[in-house]
Amino acid sequence: MKSKVTLKEIVGTKIIYAALLVCYYWMWARRDWHDYYMTIQNMVVVFTIAFFAIQAGRIHRYSKEEKDELAIQNLCRTDAIGFKIMMAATIIIAFACAVTFIDGVMAGYALVGMILVLTIIRFIIFCVMDSKGI
pLDDT digits (tens, 9 = 90+) for 34-51: 888 889 889 999 999 999
Residue among 33, 39, 45, 15 nearest 116 (CA): 15
Percent of the chain at pLDDT exceeding 90? 38
Provide the pLDDT for residue 82.
92
121 within 8 A of 84, measured Cβ to Cβ = no
C-alpha span between 102 and 23 (Å, rounded): 20
pTM of the model: 0.82
Which whole-number Å values give the CA distances from 37 to 22, 30, 43, 69, 109, in the listed order?
Answer: 15, 10, 10, 45, 18
Calpha distance 133→129 (Å, rounded): 6
Structure confidence by residue, pLDDT tens digits, 57-93? 888 887 777 777 888 888 899 999 999 999 999 999 8
